[in-house]
Chains A and B, each alone.
Chain A
């Protein structure tokens, strides 16, 4: 498989050169030539007005995957408590498993020591089956220990799909497991689809993608894994056509948990791990919960974020005052974190936290795509920025062009009067 330029059709117009995100097309005389930076992302194909660019398909025949069944979710627990993302993934895994077939099941994989009690919670949130791997050596997460027992479990039971939360642990574990199984892994997914028809529905509603080349009746049941790429400037849908299982890490806060059904149950399968102390080459000597303020951006109803437009780190004092007034938490753009003005734990965006609060105040944030990727599904976005051309205004429900140092104090002052102001306005 590769992107190729049909030399007899190429007119040397350079449209493809401009469209390529990866700088992978050179002009040699009047011909476009694909260089080694090409990732076959397909961006160039639709922009060519002369149909001079094509993607050649791989010559490998279809591979038989009939042995691989069910959707597995790594139900990450820490200190005997399931993470929220585990429940979100059970919900999503259930949806995907039903898209695959009526017989397909969603299975939660719990790894730890004395964690059997978590199986009930997994069933109540929608798991059909729970695989439980317990051993004293698995008390705390270790890359070596968890990779070994999970790889053994996958080899034995052959799931078709394995989903992990894109947590600090999931992103340490999943690449190791994928490399050992020699299968593909897609990082930080924000959308998953099985049926082509579901993918088309999603694409029409949420993207600029031309779906005319997709067949809604296709029997392709491969996992379509959509993720932000290139700092969120591009969305890419990734497939894993030649190997199984198909594996993804999924951003916390993106997928939906199901309603908890008290008393729901399912099949519990205890897997005896084959693990010894010498398998684990790291020694976790302490696990420390940070004393620093825990920023719960994902649960916040209101987020007040500051960016480079604050001018200097002291601007976050004003943002904090606003947050205190409105009962919100402080967020930030990557630019402000990179400048060292505020801790990374406050960062919203593609490389920070994905949020969807009721109100998102973006103060002095220009709206880099990577930031928008993490907050544009907020219910209401309020943008305050000096620059009327700032991209943040493209996504804001309410924009105020002006000096945030003058406007925010007024919002703070008037906040408690909102009801009265509204009444006066509507009368």
Chain B
């Protein structure tokens, strides 16, 4: 039987491109591109590397989001994934990480058996790093997060990974089926290939609603989520300081140092 990998991916706004309107203090979202979340691209790349080595491998990329997220899944298919599935339904909208993991876990059960579940460590729009472990919990899978190196034995069961720690790493053995979350150091994601793009005509992105994934509606969406937003606001920039001006770089440096000295910080 083919080796099966499911990769969880999210379409996110490129938060690096977002700016704040200096007058109105509101987000300027216009022109901000939607992208495949960075860590998720690393998760997909690792799955594709396994497929490079074992062409029999079947890769499904699973996402949850609005209908536009299909574009991102098409991109994943053009990179080499076999199948894309988008869970999209107003009923799952506004889910926090707990509710999101319920929906995705239901979709994964619907997809059937698999060997490895990959995800990015976190998405750049929420930065929570919670959905991966929470899906693993719902599916009762062992997990390793922050994976920076991956290898699998020929028996296609025994996996060895390096897990990044703040001051080094852990070397961990784990068996399939399992959940692994990827970080940037794991690999360098490939681009879509010409063949991949041509191949899209034979591939499809399935769109599933809440009914399709047979999820308990009391466990998904805004109302079911244990956490809610109480208030939200834009951060206040610290007051603007002074711009040092001078005719030469040397004078600029000197004026800066005089100011720092006056503040007793040097």
CB of B31 within 8 A of chain A? no
B236, A206: Cβ atoms under 8 Å?
yes
> How far is B65's CA from A243's CA once the two chains are assembled, in angstroms?
26
B232, A42: Cβ atoms under 8 Å?
yes
Minimal beta-carbon separation of A1 from chain B (angstroms): 6
A373, B235: Cβ atoms under 8 Å?
yes
B226, A240: Cβ atoms under 8 Å?
yes
Cβ of B237: which chain A residues have Cβ within 8 Å of it?
372, 376, 391, 394-395
A289, B167: Cβ atoms under 8 Å?
yes
User: Binary interface profile of A, 162-204, with partner B (CB < 8 Å = 1, else 0)?
Assistant: 0000011101101110111011111110000000000000010
Given contacts A394-B237, A414-B254, A418-B260, contact A239 B94 (CB under 8 A): no
A400, B234: Cβ atoms under 8 Å?
no
| Neighbour of B240 across the interface among A21, A233, A393, CB < 8 A | A393
Minimal beta-carbon separation of B156 from chain A (angstroms): 17
Using C-beta atoms within 8 Å of the partner chain, give the interface range for chain B: 35 or more
Interface residues of B in 201-232 (CB under 8 A from A): 222-223, 225-232
A281, B257: Cβ atoms under 8 Å?
no
Given contacts A179-B134, A238-B230, A414-B254, contact A228 B243 (CB under 8 A): no
Cβ of A418: which chain B residues have Cβ within 8 Å of it?
257-258, 260-261, 266
B234, A235: Cβ atoms under 8 Å?
yes
Given contacts A168-B165, A398-B241, contact A285 B136 (CB under 8 A): no
| Neighbour of A18 across the interface among B26, B226, B259, CB < 8 A | B26
Cβ of A43: which chain B residues have Cβ within 8 Å of it?
26, 232
A187, B18: Cβ atoms under 8 Å?
no
Cβ of B238: which chain A residues have Cβ within 8 Å of it?
376, 381, 394-395
Cβ of B194: which chain A residues have Cβ within 8 Å of it?
none
B126, A35: Cβ atoms under 8 Å?
no
Interface residues of B in 28-71 (CB under 8 A from A): 29, 38, 65-66
- Most A CB within 10 A of own CB, among B90, B131, B133, B225: B133
User: Binary interface profile of B, 136-150, with partner A (CB < 8 Å = 1, else 0)?
Assistant: 111000111110000
Q: Which residue of chain A is the closest to B121 with respect to CB atoms?
A: A171
Minimal beta-carbon separation of B32 from chain A (angstroms): 9
B235, A186: Cβ atoms under 8 Å?
no
| Neighbour of B235 across the interface among A228, A289, A326, A403, CB < 8 A | A228
Cβ of B18: which chain A residues have Cβ within 8 Å of it?
230-231, 233, 369
Minimal beta-carbon separation of A360 from chain B (angstroms): 10
CB of A28 within 8 A of chain B? no
Cβ of A237: which chain B residues have Cβ within 8 Å of it?
229-232
CB of A47 within 8 A of chain B? yes
User: Binary interface profile of A, 339-374, with partner B (CB < 8 Å = 1, else 0)?
Assistant: 000001000001100000011000000001110110
A39, B260: Cβ atoms under 8 Å?
no
Stretch among A115-123, A130-138, A265-273, A405-413 lining the B interface: A405-413
User: Binary interface profile of B, 7-30, with partner A (CB < 8 Å = 1, else 0)?
Assistant: 000000101101110100111010
Minimal beta-carbon separation of A164 from chain B (angstroms): 12
> How far is B89's CA from A398's CA once the two chains are assembled, in angstroms?
50
State the total of A-B contacts with C-beta under 8 angstroms.
332
> How far is B250's CA from A415's CA once the two chains are assembled, in angstroms?
11
CB of A311 within 8 A of chain B? no
A398, B223: Cβ atoms under 8 Å?
no
Q: Describe B's contact surface by its main secondary structure.
A: mixed
A288, B169: Cβ atoms under 8 Å?
yes
User: Binary interface profile of B, 70-89, with partner A (CB < 8 Å = 1, else 0)?
Assistant: 00000000000000000011
A415, B256: Cβ atoms under 8 Å?
no
CB of B196 within 8 A of chain A? no
Q: Which residue of chain A is the closest to B15 with respect to CB atoms?
A: A231
Given contacts A35-B93, A182-B226, A234-B27, contact A335 B127 (CB under 8 A): no
A288, B171: Cβ atoms under 8 Å?
yes
Interface residues of B in 104-133 (CB under 8 A from A): 122, 124-133
A288, B242: Cβ atoms under 8 Å?
no
CB of A282 within 8 A of chain B? yes
B16, A167: Cβ atoms under 8 Å?
no
Q: Could you list 19 examples of A-B contacts with CB < 8 Å?
A: A1-B228, A2-B222, A2-B223, A42-B232, A43-B232, A143-B142, A174-B130, A228-B235, A232-B235, A236-B232, A237-B229, A283-B174, A290-B168, A359-B260, A368-B16, A369-B235, A394-B240, A415-B257, A421-B261
Which residues of A are in contact with B by a Cβ distance under 8 Å?
A: 1-2, 18-21, 23, 35-43, 47, 58, 140, 143-144, 147, 167-169, 171-172, 174-176, 178-180, 182-188, 203, 206-209, 214, 224, 228-243, 281-290, 294, 326, 334-335, 338, 344, 350-351, 358-359, 368-370, 372-373, 376, 379-382, 388, 391, 393-403, 406-407, 409-411, 413-415, 417-419, 421-422, 425-426
A172-B146, A370-B15 known; 14 other A-B pairs, CB under 8 Å? A172-B145, A179-B133, A184-B227, A208-B236, A238-B228, A238-B229, A283-B173, A373-B235, A402-B249, A407-B252, A410-B250, A413-B250, A415-B257, A421-B257
Which residues of B are in contact with A by a Cβ distance under 8 Å?
A: 13, 15-16, 18-20, 22, 25-27, 29, 38, 65-66, 88-90, 92-94, 96-98, 101, 122, 124-134, 136-138, 142-146, 160, 163-175, 178, 184-185, 222-223, 225-238, 240-244, 249-250, 252-254, 256-263, 265-266
